């Protein structure tokens, strides 16, 4: 198990196992300017989580955080349609990663 913490839509700290999530989209966050984002889907909790990383500083360090995101954010930020979001939820193992970087 590779645990990763994130904040749910209700503001509660949650943990997801990174070994069991489905990578949905690689792109950029609109919650944090200039941060990269990996959108994942957790089949167990049915949550979409944006894992964010800051740009590296002069020493090569970066900050990381995660937050659950709603369908509207996924559509606005990553361009997924409601049908694609539904497809990920219904058949997660069949999803193919989209790279927007």
pLDDT at position 46: 96
CA–CA gap between residue 2 and residue 5 (Å, rounded): 10
Give me the pLDDT at residue 33, please: 93
Helix axis angle for 82-90 and 71-78, nearest 10°, is 120
CB atoms within 10 A of CB 32: 17
What's the pLDDT at 76? Answer: 98
DSSP state, residue 54? P
Give the pLDDT score at 91: 97
Q: What was the pLDDT predicted at 101? A: 94
Helix (H, G, I), strand (E, B) or coil at 58: coil
In sequence order, the β-bridge partners of residue 41 are 22, 48
Token readout for 57 is 């500083």
List per-block mean pLDDT (blocks of 10 residues) for the chain, which spans 101 residues: 96 96 98 96 97 95 96 98 98 97 94
Q: Where are the alpha helices (DSSP H) in the chain?
A: 71-78, 82-90
pTM as predicted: 0.94
Residue 32 is predicted with a pLDDT of 95
């Amino acid at each position: 198990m590779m645990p990763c913490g994130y904040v749910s839509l209700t503001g509660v700290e949650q943990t997801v196992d990174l070994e069991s999530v489905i990578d949905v989209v690689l792109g950029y966050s609109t919650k944090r300017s200039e941060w990269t984002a990996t959108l994942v889907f957790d089949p167990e909790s049915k949550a979409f989580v944006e894992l964010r990383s800051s740009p590296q500083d002069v020493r090569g360090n970066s900050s990381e955080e995660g937050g659950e995101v709603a369908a509207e954010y996924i559509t606005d930020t990553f361009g997924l349609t409601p049908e694609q979001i539904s497809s990920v939820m219904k058949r997660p193992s069949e999803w193919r990663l989209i790279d927007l970087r």
